[in-house]
A = this chain, B = another copy of it.
Amino acid sequence: MTAQAFIDQVKFNEQGLVTAIAQDAGTNEVLMVAYMNADTLRQTLETGTMTYWSRSRRKVWVKGESSGHTQEVREVRIDCDGDALVFKVVQHGGAACHTGHRSCFYRRWDDGAFAVDEEPVFDPKQVYG
């Protein structure tokens, strides 16, 4: 019921999707960017667990469903024109990225090449098999 009031403010794109940014609730580090449709946004608001729409797999994607690295929602924000959302989350398992890095944005542009500041938190082979 209340989730509908939120969804009504969202401007979904032609594919029925809205940009969803997951940010670490403690450090404000951007962990990942993905997409939600109205149903997975509703599910996220109602369950408090980040639930995206996977564009590549064309299915509901409860983040962490296979790795156990779920994202617990602490705060939700919408931008001025309603086409992007920010979720402050607690990242369980220490890493949001399928590569094992804490953030999907682990590559920093350093004057002509990409630098990687941090080692992966986990070994993807061990988590995804």
The answer to whether A111 has its CB under 8 Å from any CB of chain B is: yes
Question: Do A79 and B33 touch across chains, with their CB atoms under 8 A apart?
Answer: yes
- Interchain CA distance A120-B98 in the complex, whole Å: 38
For this chain, the copies found in one complex come to 2
Measured between beta carbons, the chain B residues less than 8 angstroms from A104 are 79-81, 84
Q: Which partner residue on chain B sits nearest A28 by CB separation?
A: B28
The answer to whether A99 has its CB under 8 Å from any CB of chain B is: yes
Nearest Cβ on chain B to A46's Cβ, whole angstroms:
12
Measured between beta carbons, the chain B residues less than 8 angstroms from A108 are 75-77
Q: Which partner residue on chain B sits nearest A45 by CB separation?
A: B109
Of B9, B75, B86, B109, which contacts A76 at CB under 8 A? B109
Which parts of A69-116 form the interface with B (CB within 8 Å)? 75-81, 84, 86, 97-99, 101, 104-109, 111-114
